[in-house]
Amino acid sequence: MIPAHRRLVARLSVDGDLTPAWRRAFEMVPRHLFLPDVIEGGGSPVDRREDEPGWWEAAYADLPVAVGVGGGAREGPAHPVTDSPAPSGLARVLDLLRVSPGMRVLEVGTGTGYGAALLSYRLGDDAVTSVEIDFALAENARVSLMAAGFAPLVVSGDGTQGWAARAPFDRVLSCVAVRRVPYSWVAQTQPGGRVLTTWTNSFHDGVLVDLEVGAYGTARGPVVGSGHAGARPVRDPLSMVETYVRPDSDFTVTRTRLGPEEPIRNPDGAFAVGVRMPTVVHRTRFAADPADPRYTVYLIDPHTWSWASWHIDPEQRDSGYEVRQHGPRRLFHELEAAHELWVEAGRPERTRFGLTVSFDHQLVWLDEPHAVFASSR
């Protein structure tokens, strides 16, 4: 190992991020083979051709690195970009996966291929299947993996569909953030196996859920921490919806004393609101002048094109904020109701929630699986 690599492994071990089970893999898999020649990880870009010592230090810093196809950190909007996650975050997620030799793993979201390489070292190439939706990213990952001496199966496809040709798996590790856990992951995991994924919504960046698959095709498990570092949002219609509010459409106007502090800015409150409104898109539009403290929160249901706008003006705090609503769903009223339910439950932290996934519905529960907080089909 080069000195920077050795120092990284030692630091991760001392900090408790890297367990003995994964230390050898992190020692033997060179991270720099999965990184571009220009690294923009934690400050000014470092170009390997101009500052090779600095580049090596950046390559083995405990920071995420943006990687653009073609070898550059940023290649423009037409080129796909992924992240090489911070090694400490990746080490913690891999430890939560609790794998052992003989297990078969499906990784969703190959990205640079660094995670697939670590899994291949630990379990063997034949035990690892990795699916990447972007063809160019998948091809780059294959090249990097071969350069590092690994040959797991890397396929180009929609990872939310899993990869039935190699099922059943013992573990599914999703490196993409999903709003709804795809049932295909559960169906392709054998009983007793587990699905580890970042679960997100429009109001919250996401949490990590650890689901155990039961004997009858249902998976259940708790939130075990923050979302997987570097997890990209899955490509779904909701993630691509932009603010769509026609000023000439009919709407009702009300006022509210509810401020954004808990249902929008508080991570626990926002998470709870989001799980009650899983199909609603949340966007915030700030004033053009950075010194202007006013802004507007939009709630949008793309399925019915209902929308609500919640105008936040600090000068209106005492008299109430203006709310406009359009369409068959009263989205702001739904937000108020979701926030109130969270308050009545004692403002629980998001780590107290859990998720049950079955073929036709998903249940969000609080503390115990029978204490249903939200459900969706």
Catalytic residues: 84
What is the Cα–Cα distance from 56 to 37, expressed in whole angstroms? 10
DSSP class per residue in 46-96: EETTT-HHHHHHHHTSSS-EEEETTSSS---TTS-EEEE--HHHHHHHHHH
**Number of Cα atoms under 13 Å in the Cβ half of residue 308:** 23
Question: Each residue of 196-233: b (16+ CB within 10 Å) or e?
Answer: bbbbbbbbbebbbbbbebeeeebbbbbbebbbbbbbbb
Q: Which two tokens stand for residue 76?
A: 């423009």
Separation of alpha carbons 173 and 180, rounded Å: 15
For residues 188 and 172, is the Cβ–Cβ distance under 8 A?
A: yes
Q: How far apart are CA 25 and CA 18, in angstroms?
A: 10
CA angle 255, 258, 260 (to 5 degrees): 115
Evaluate whether 194 touches 212 at the Cβ level (below 8 Å). Answer: yes
* Cβ atoms 203, 282 nearer than 8 A: yes
Pairing of strands 65-68, 81-84: antiparallel
Torsion of CA 151, 152, 156, 159, to 10 degrees: -160
Give the length of the chain. Answer: 377
Query: How far is it, in rounded angstroms, from Cα 89 to Cα 199?
Result: 16
Instruction: Give the CA distances from residue 23 to residues 76, 258, 309, 320, in Å, rounded to whole numbers and listed in that order.
Output: 36, 49, 50, 55
Nearest to 359 by CA among 178, 106, 184: 184
